[in-house]
Amino acid sequence: MLEDRRLIWGMKRGSREALERLYEKYEGFLITVAVALCHRIDLAEDVVHDFFVSFVRSAHRLKLTGDLKAYMAVCVANLTRDRLRKVRRDPECLDEGIQIESAGASPEQQVIEQERAQTLNWALSQLSFDQREAIVLHLHGRMKFTQIAKQRAVSVNTVRSQYRYGIKKMRALLNHEVMS
């Protein structure tokens, strides 16, 4: 957290190294968040790129009082939501280019893990964006419900409900999928 504040301070003063460090530190995490929300790696990469461009342009106005990682995750989630509205694509369109690589896993195990990931992505894509966002920010982003609520300007109970109903729906979808 102290490093983040120092990097933002440097970025506000035009330090290219500070910006590069922030990018290196958070790019992978932010792409993971965006991919989990939109299921397309190309769109996720565009969103993260656009976020960083906007972040740099507005850095002089940034008055960060909380966690930078949480702030960035919510910004990327909001940009993803906006981009999905513009694209208006079927949420079931998963990017076939996403590959899961496990160190030391056999090819058979990798195929099994890829199928599991596709099944989870399919179930996640069946949720409303708000439910998906609550689940992704909590599980992938490791954000607390209070952080998500604060960043989204909604009540904590709203975020908890979205998370709970989203998980419940995913369980129902996955249990039906297993039984079929």
Could you say which residues of the chain have pLDDT below 50?
Answer: 89-102
85 and 130: one domain? no
pLDDT, residue 178, reads 58
Residue 106 lies in a domain: no
> Would 97 be classed as within a structural domain?
no
Please tell me the distance from the alpha carbon of residue 123 to that of residue 132, in angstroms, as a whole number.
10
| Domains: count for the chain | 2
- Residue 112: inside a domain: no
- What local confidence, expressed as pLDDT, does residue 93 receive? 45
The answer to the question of residue 172 being in a domain is yes
- The letter for the amino acid at 119 is T
Q: Which of 69, 91, 113 is the last residue of a domain?
A: 91
- Asked if residues 28 and 69 have their Cβ atoms less than 8 Å apart, the reply is no
- pTM reported for the whole predicted model: 0.71
Residue 91 pLDDT = 46
pLDDT of residue 177: 67
Judgement on whether residues 57 and 134 belong to the same structural domain of the protein: no
The pLDDT assigned to 104 comes to 64
Extract the tokens encoding 112: 């099994």
Residue 120 lies in a domain: no
Do 143 and 58 lie in one domain? The reply is: no
Q: Which long-range contacts (CB under 8 A, 24 or more apart) does 39-44 make?
A: 39/91, 39/92, 39/93, 39/94, 39/95, 39/121, 39/124, 39/125, 40/89, 40/93, 40/94, 40/95, 41/95, 41/97, 41/98, 42/95, 42/97, 43/80, 43/83, 43/84, 43/87, 44/80
- Phi/psi class of residue 39: alpha, beta or left (left: φ > 0; alpha: ψ in -120 to 50)? left
Distances (CA, A) of 146 to 58, 129, 179: 25, 19, 36
Domain hosting residue 83, numbered range: 1-91
Rounded Cα distance, 114 and 84, in Å: 24
